[in-house]
Structure formats: C-alpha cells, structure tokens
Copies of this chain bind each other. A is one copy, B any other.
C-alpha cells in the first residue's frame, strides 16, 4: 500500500500535538509538509524530519503527491483554507469552528460537498475515552432512551480579554464543545435553546461584550433535555463532567485526576485537583481523533465528525447568544432558516 501523504497547517499548541501524533504513531502515512507563519516553526518540522516547510498555505497545497491536509491554523483562516484544500481535491481535517459566521460555514460546506472531498471537524472531546465510554453505554442501550443530558464544563481560568474580544463569545469559543457533546451523547437533534448568562468572573469580560458564567437548556426534537453549565473560572481546575439519564439508568463520567492518591490527616481527607486544562485532560482524545481521521482516509469511510456537526454547534451557539440577548428561548429554525 502506498503511504498517504499528509500536510499540517499551523503549528500552535494543537498543531504540534497533531504533528507529533501523525509522525510517531502512523506507519501508514507520511507527513510530507508543514506550514506555519512563524519562521521558528521550521525547526519543529526538522525535528520531526518533515521534508518541506513553508509559510504559505497555497505552497503547502502544492506539495507534490499530497493527499490530505490537517488544518490547525487560527480560526479566521479555517474557512479559506478548507475551501482551497477542497478545490485542490485534498482530504481535510480542520480544527473547530469552521467559521463564526453561519453563512460562511454553509457556503464552505456547500463547496466541500461539491468537490466530494472528505471533511472532518476537530471535536476532539468525542474521542475522549471517558465520554466515548458513556456514548457506548447509550448506544448499547444500557441507559435506555436519554431523557436528560447534563454537562459541566468549567475552565481553570479565563483567556486574556484581548482573546475574548475576537473569540466570538463564550458560547462559540467554549460552549461549542459542550453543544457538540450534547448532540453526540444523546444522538439527538436540538430544536430549541435557552441560555442565562452572567459576568461573575471578571467585569472586563462583560465590558468586552461577553459573559463568563452560564446555564444553557437544550431541548431535543423529542422534548428530551440537555443542560450545560459553564464558567470561565473554576479555582479548583478544569471541571469536565457529564451524565446521561435515561429510561433504563444513568451513566456518569467524572473528572480525570493526575493520580488517585488519598491523604488522611488530622485535618481531613484530601486528594489532588483534576488534570489542569485541556492539553492534559484531553491528551488521549487528540491522538484518537487523528487516528480516526487517518482510519477513515485509509479505509475510505465516512468521517466520524462531519461538516454538519460543525454547522449545528455553531447554530446552537448563535441561538444561545440570541437567547441571552433577547431573554427568551430561541428555536434553532430561527437561526438555520
């Protein structure tokens, strides 16, 4: 079998993780080119013995014999890069979100569809072993029909306000993962969104037009429910829990910890805080998601997370924002019409 030739665009934190995984764990592929706007990234390409380095995406796409591209560049480049890659006939893995504008996302997805290339969106948490296990229990009917999905998702600390301003807002930047998770775990489509939000962590976030604390209720098409609670700052660390309650039972995924020790002293019982943040907590998921992308390529199968998944999460995020702004539940049809 010929090896699949892959290029990686963008060598930020996630890009480096993907590059490392691609280079180390997949004998069936070869990373033949890397693109990043920073000169310094050339050294990374060399460290992993990637033969071609460029600062230009068009040049990356022009690498001879290139089969697929993994896009990890900043969000505002995603749509353009995906369109270019699709038109060049390359298979595509792209970090979420495709774009913050729903129109642009729909436009991009239409082009991808026309070109017939595969597109996978990087909702890495679907590949987290904990959450995969819960999904498996749902699929195996161990919990029966899901009636209530509960997701707790709190960050250890807020991003810089400068980032908040360009992030598209908490719902599109942070909760978007939870929206996808609610759909993934339940296997159901969302029809309505109600969100209440507040600024509790940092007034500057409010001044930047965003919120930092929220509770969002999603209603699925069969009237079953999901509820997500978010906060940009949990002083005890990254809080990522999930439960699904159904007619036959309930399945829970707890936080992951650096170790499981307990210390008993005269002051009480204590243990470590959860794994610090997404790089640690979702480390395994990055590996597994890129594995499923490669597997789908090798076996010419459907992508496990497709463009519609990306579209729906953005639409739910926009509905949540509208719900907060207008103080009422918002039907998804208002957003996607």
Residues of A near any B CB (own CB < 8 A): 24, 27, 47, 129-130, 133-134, 137, 142-145, 147-148, 150, 152, 154, 192, 194, 196, 198-200, 213-215, 217, 219, 223-225, 227, 229, 231, 234-237, 239, 245, 247-256, 258-266, 268-273, 327-329
Among B129, B137, B237, B249, the residue within 8 A (CB) of A235 is B249
Q: Which residues of B contact A261 (CB under 8 A)?
A: 130, 133-134, 137, 251-254
Instruction: For A211, give the chain B residue with the smallest CB separation.
Output: B223
Contact status B249-A256, CB under 8 Å:
no
Contact status A263-B142, CB under 8 Å:
yes
Instruction: For A233, give the chain B residue with the smallest CB separation.
Output: B247
Knowing A265-B235, A265-B248, A273-B264, say if A259 contacts B215 (CB, 8 Å): no
Cα A211 to Cα B152 with chains together (Å): 25
Knowing A198-B224, A329-B194, say if A262 contacts B268 (CB, 8 Å): no
Q: Which residues of B contact A27 (CB under 8 A)?
A: 47
Q: Which residues of B contact A47 (CB under 8 A)?
A: 27
Query: A27-B47, A142-B263, A266-B273 given. 7 additional CB < 8 A pairs?
Result: A129-B259, A130-B259, A200-B247, A249-B263, A249-B265, A251-B262, A253-B260
Knowing A147-B231, A217-B217, say if A236 contacts B249 (CB, 8 Å): yes
Contact status A235-B266, CB under 8 Å:
yes
Contact status B200-A137, CB under 8 Å:
no
Cα A217 to Cα B213 with chains together (Å): 13
Contact status A245-B231, CB under 8 Å:
yes
Knowing A130-B260, A213-B225, A256-B260, say if A148 contacts B231 (CB, 8 Å): yes
Q: Which residues of B contact A255 (CB under 8 A)?
A: 260
Instruction: For A242, give the chain B residue with the smallest CB separation.
Output: B261
Contact status A137-B263, CB under 8 Å:
yes
Instruction: For A327, give the chain B residue with the smallest CB separation.
Output: B329
Q: Which residues of B contact A24 (CB under 8 A)?
A: 24
22 examples of A-B residue contacts, CB within 8 angstroms: A24-B24, A27-B47, A130-B260, A142-B263, A143-B265, A144-B235, A147-B198, A148-B213, A148-B229, A192-B196, A196-B329, A198-B225, A213-B224, A231-B245, A235-B248, A236-B249, A236-B250, A239-B264, A250-B263, A254-B261, A268-B273, A270-B270
Contact status B200-A236, CB under 8 Å:
no
Instruction: For A137, give the chain B residue with the smallest CB separation.
Output: B263
Contact status A253-B259, CB under 8 Å:
yes
Among B229, B248, B250, B269, the residue within 8 A (CB) of A271 is B269
- Chain B CB within 10 Å — which of A234, A252, A255, A260 has the most? A260
Among B143, B150, B192, B194, the residue within 8 A (CB) of A217 is B194
Q: Which residues of B contact A148 (CB under 8 A)?
A: 213, 215, 229, 231
